[in-house]
Amino acid sequence: MSQQPVRARTAGASKTSLSIKNLHVTREGKEILKGVSLEVQAGEIHVLLGPNGSGKSTLAHVLAGDPRYSVGDRGLDFNGKTLCGVPPERRAERGLFVGFQHPVEIPGLSTAQFLRSAQGALRKSRGQNPLTAREFLQNAKAALVAVGLPEAVLERPLNVGFSGGEKKRLELAQLILLEPTLAVLDEIDSGLDVDGLKLVAAALKRFMLPDKLTPASGQATSNRMLLLITHNPRLLRYLPITRVHIIQNGQIIQSAGPELAEQIAKTGFVNKKIQK
Amino acid sequence: MPPPMSKKLLQQLSARPYKHGFSSKIETDTVPIGLTEDTIRLISGKKSEPAWMLAWRLKAFRHWRTMVTPDWQNVAVPPIDYQAIRYYAAPKRRALKSLDEVDPEIRRMFDKLGISLDEQKRISGVEGMSQVAIDAVVDSASVATTFKAELERLGVIFCSLSEAVQRHPGLVQRYLGSVVSFGDNYFASLNAAVFSDGSFCYIPRGVRCPMDLSTYFRINSAGTGQFERTLIIAEDDAYVSYLEGCTAPKRDENQLHAAVVEIIAKDRAEVRYATVQNWYPGDAQGRGGIFNFVTKRGKCAGANSKISWTQVETGSAITWKYPSVILQGDNSVGEFYSVALTAGHQQADTGSKMIHLGKNTRSTIIAKGIAAGHGNNTYRGLVRVMSGATGARNYTQCDSLMLGSQCSATTLPYIEQRNDSSTIEHEASTSTIRDEQLVYLRQRGIDEEEALTLIVNGFGRTVLKRLPLEFAVEARNLLGLRLEGSVA
């Protein structure tokens, strides 16, 4: 596969990481994130849990580079380099992918054309040759099969008339096709039934798999990272979670191992507040 | 706080590169500046026209002098001094007998525009490109027509209108002015008086034209107006697909382009006419650019005939144009699909007229207007159902996409219904590009300009997909080019 050398190259470079330190974010003058800190290392799956309005989705938008949010000039590093002031497309080129809670509809833009443009742009930025139309279609169809979407989706306008579940599956298909190192997925599990959840979990597990054996140690290492944003811990049962963070009112109020997610599943967020 | 992306981006949406802005040094035969009966006699004389042709021109000119410039349109037209325009400029060396005689400089000009006048190249062209016969018109004259011999074998006549006047005077005399009369409107009358050349196309009964026919109009000379006239006749059961492209050099002056296109479709005939209009639109300050005042009309004369207009209007400083269909034959079909982009200081007042005369006639109007920068985009349409048009149906959809806060979009639909059994539907929408859409595409690695292009092309998709492949690619690039350079 033509993608292989690139993965190897990224993997061979210094270890991947996402470092958020004391991040403050405002939108239209209102402070939404009030000093958030979070570290994700290569091979790790982190979960950000929190009630509606806690600032979860804001973090996803900020990581994407949405210019409607004001971020300072520090506090956001990706693979050792700052993301502050870096436009969204450059972040994507560096291997950052954000799956949105509400993927936007673009009337008239076929899903196929969109995927081809995105994959083409990213391949170009990595110095790879463009894929032929046939190669692209093979890749795209494989990604759709993996998330349980029919091929016919390719001809439909992007996200237009898609059900909530279909939109989420298409986000996941993009993750597979675009091969980032860090995936930030906002409510990827909403609108999905149990079978859908299992499919998402399987795809995410595959995403986290190591690219290759590191010759020196003989051990499998993954450079992939996952940050799952959700208010519903159901999906987490199917995944090997590294760390769970609770966000409330723009601040992370608690961080712990996967057992925290189980606890939240039982007791909800209200009790968390009291605990603190 | 940085301004939202689209605002920042769209504030800069005024200057766009125009890649066809070069001019070529071609030896040119001209008439003196200004317009009198003598000018018309001179033009007619240069073309050795028969007496009836000159008489028609003079009739039109005398009528034109009694008319006043229309002022109902929603565009600001500076006063035009018709005595300051040159009404005829033709390249001296014209290919009359064979394509080998085409002036190499003209050939180079068309190569530069991406139009090959070389038949061999066309035949062995890029995979997926259909064969296209081209009539190349520079300023006032046709300079080359390709594939004439092949077409003649089928009885298809495809040549310049000047040549048709000489070789097929009967056909020209019978049909010229039969759809757009010499007195139709101010600019059509001016055209009838001074038209210099254009394309003539005749598809005999039962013939399905095997290749797309195409006219490429190029304004080259300064200070010259272009007044071409196209006449297309499809006999019973004939079919033809016709393409028209236009470009002009960058100049500080405004140049007038007042063209007329007439189409006649007989019983069960079908004519598809596609235009990609890319005349020079003027610079970022609104200096220069073409005044594109065009009358295009088709007549579905026969039963079950069909005329379909598809236009992509991206150029010109001012566009004034309403490709229309007169639905005379029973069960005839008229279609109008349009994407009109006004950026910079461009103004467009464009739309369609569908006149239903026959029974069970059907028409569709899909108009997509894109306004950016200081652009002013108006859709103006008329659906008229006459009393005899029992069971007539029209569907109209007008969508406007507005980019930024300096532009304007207006929709002016007129409906006249004189038969109660008819059905007329009208839908309209106005939208803008949302920041979320740009962020979404950019998050996937697509840069800002390309993201804008994808969204704008998505907006125009129902129209763009109707263009032949070759044209669709050009149109897509044009819409993109128009927005390119808008990001600092």
What are the residue ranges spanned by the domains of chain B?
5-483
Instruction: Assess A104–B contact: CB distance below 8 Å, yes or no.
Output: yes
- Residue A70 reports pLDDT greater than 60: yes
Residue A135 belongs to some domain of the structure: no
pLDDT of residue B205: 97
pLDDT of residue B126: 38
Instruction: Assess A6–B contact: CB distance below 8 Å, yes or no.
Output: no
Give per-residue pLDDT as tens, B64-81: 999 998 888 888 888 888
- Residue A219 reports pLDDT greater than 70: no
- Residue B221 reports pLDDT greater than 60: yes
Determine the Cα–Cα distance for residues B206 and B234; give it in Å rounded to an integer. 9
Determine the Cα–Cα distance for residues B131 and B208; give it in Å rounded to an integer. 14
A221 to A42, B93, B358: CA distances (angstroms): 8, 73, 75
- Residue A182 reports pLDDT greater than 70: yes
Candidate from A26, A100, A110 with C-beta closest to B440 = A100
B360 is written with which tokens?
């069970």
Selection from B280-289, B418-427, B477-486 with the highest mean pLDDT: B418-427
Of B45-49, B283-287, B343-347, B391-395, the one with minimum mean pLDDT is B283-287
Residue A171 belongs to some domain of the structure: no
B91 within 8 A of B26, measured Cβ to Cβ: yes
- Averaged pLDDT for residues B35-54: 92
Of A181-190, A222-231, B248-257, the one with minimum mean pLDDT is B248-257
Residue A227 belongs to some domain of the structure: yes
Give per-residue pLDDT as tens, A145-173: 999 999 999 999 999 999 999 999 999 99
Candidate from A87, A157, A174 with C-beta closest to B442 = A87
How close is the nearest chain B Cα to the Cα of A222, in Å? 22
Of A89-98, A194-203, B303-312, the one with minimum mean pLDDT is A194-203
pLDDT of residue B275: 87
Residue A47 belongs to some domain of the structure: yes
Confidence label for B112 from pLDDT (cuts 50, 70 and 90): low
The sign of the torsion formed by the CA atoms of B59, B64, B66, B67 equals positive
Instruction: Assess B1–A contact: CB distance below 8 Å, yes or no.
Output: yes
Query: Which range marks the domain in which residue A228 is found?
Result: 4-107+180-275
Phi, psi of B204 (to 5 degrees): -70, 170
pLDDT of residue A211: 66
> Who wins on pLDDT, B130 or B446?
B446
How close is the nearest chain A Cα to the Cα of B458, in Å? 4
- Residue B348 reports pLDDT greater than 50: yes
B34 is written with which tokens?
């200004």
Candidate from A65, A97, A121 with C-beta closest to B446 = A121
Confidence label for B483 from pLDDT (cuts 50, 70 and 90): low
DSSP state of A15: P
- Residue B5 reports pLDDT greater than 60: no
Q: Which of A71, A89, A66 is nearest to A33 (CA)?
A: A71
Determine the Cα–Cα distance for residues B86 and B467; give it in Å rounded to an integer. 34
Determine the Cα–Cα distance for residues A181 and A16; give it in Å rounded to an integer. 8
How close is the nearest chain B Cα to the Cα of A57, in Å? 13
Indicate the residue type of B412.
Answer: L
The sign of the torsion formed by the CA atoms of B84, B87, B91, B93 equals negative
DSSP B41-95: HHHHHHTT--HHHHHHHHHHHHHHTT------SSS-PPP--GGGSB--EEESS--
Instruction: Assess B112–A contact: CB distance below 8 Å, yes or no.
Output: no
Determine the Cα–Cα distance for residues B152 and A226; give it in Å rounded to an integer. 67
Note whether A91 contacts B443, CB cutoff 8 Å: yes
* Helical ranges in B276-420 per DSSP H: none
Mean pLDDT value across chain A: 87
Note whether B442 contacts A106, CB cutoff 8 Å: no
First to last CA, chain A: 50
Of A81-85, B219-223, B319-323, B378-382, the one with minimum mean pLDDT is B219-223
Determine the Cα–Cα distance for residues B253 and B132; give it in Å rounded to an integer. 33
Determine the Cα–Cα distance for residues A5 and A11; give it in Å rounded to an integer. 10
Indicate the residue type of B424.
Answer: I
Residue A233 belongs to some domain of the structure: yes
Write the CB contacts of B43 (distance below 8 Å, at least 6 apart in sequence): B31, B57, B87, B88, B194, B196
Mean pLDDT value across chain B: 84
Residue A11 belongs to some domain of the structure: yes
* Helical ranges in A20-132 per DSSP H: 56-64, 88-93, 111-125
Q: How many domains does chain A have?
A: 1
Closest residue in B to A70 (Cα) is: B1
Closest residue in B to A90 (Cα) is: B445
pTM, full prediction: 0.82
How close is the nearest chain A Cα to the Cα of B4, in Å? 5
Phi, psi of A46 (to 5 degrees): -110, 150
pLDDT of residue B140: 61
Please give the interface size between A and B, counted as residue pairs whose CB atoms are below 8 Å apart. Answer: 96
pLDDT of residue B256: 86
Note whether A66 contacts B439, CB cutoff 8 Å: yes
- Residue A235 reports pLDDT greater than 90: no
Residue B193: count other Cβ atoms within 10 Å of its Cβ: 25
Determine the Cα–Cα distance for residues B438 and B434; give it in Å rounded to an integer. 7
- Residue B486 reports pLDDT greater than 50: no
- Residue B366 reports pLDDT greater than 60: yes
DSSP state of A155: G
Share of chain A above pLDDT 70, in %: 89
Q: Which of A18, A3, A10 is nearest to A214 (CA)?
A: A10
Instruction: Assess A103–B contact: CB distance below 8 Å, yes or no.
Output: yes
CATH code of A241's domain: 3.40.50.300
Instruction: Assess A130–B contact: CB distance below 8 Å, yes or no.
Output: no
Give per-residue pLDDT as tens, A28-65: 989 999 999 999 999 999 999 988 889 999 999 999 99
Write the CB contacts of A69 (distance below 8 Å, at least 6 apart in sequence): A25, A26, A27, A32, A58, A61, A62
Residue window 414-453, chain B: list those with CB within 8 Å of chain A: 434-437, 439-448, 450
pLDDT of residue B316: 83
Q: Which residue has the tokens 């806690």?
A: A54
Instruction: Assess B466–A contact: CB distance below 8 Å, yes or no.
Output: no
DSSP A176-242: HHH--SEEEEESTTTT--HHHHHHHHHHHHHHHS-SEE-TTT--EE---EEEEEES-GGGGGGS--S
pLDDT of residue B468: 74
Determine the Cα–Cα distance for residues B25 and B220; give it in Å rounded to an integer. 9
Q: How does strand A81-82 pair with strand B270-277?
A: unpaired
DSSP state of B99: G
Q: Which regions of B372-469 does DSSP assign to beta strands (E)?
A: 376-385, 393-402, 408-417, 423-432
How close is the nearest chain A Cα to the Cα of B443, in Å? 5
Give per-residue pLDDT as tens, B416-440: 999 999 999 999 999 988 889 999 9
- Residue B97 reports pLDDT greater than 80: no
Contacts of B460 in chain A (CB under 8 A): 108
Contacts of B127 in chain A (CB under 8 A): none
Residue A66 belongs to some domain of the structure: yes
A242 to A6, A213, B57: CA distances (angstroms): 26, 21, 86
Residue A45 belongs to some domain of the structure: yes
Of B243-257, B382-396, B418-432, the one with minimum mean pLDDT is B243-257
Instruction: Assess B2–A contact: CB distance below 8 Å, yes or no.
Output: yes
- Residue B144 reports pLDDT greater than 70: no
How close is the nearest chain B Cα to the Cα of A39, in Å? 22
Give per-residue pLDDT as tens, B183-199: 999 999 999 999 988 88
pLDDT of residue B247: 67
CA dihedral B48, B50, B51, B52 (to 10 degrees): -140
Candidate from B1, B8, B462 with C-beta closest to A70 = B1
pLDDT of residue A14: 58
Share of chain B above pLDDT 90, in %: 46
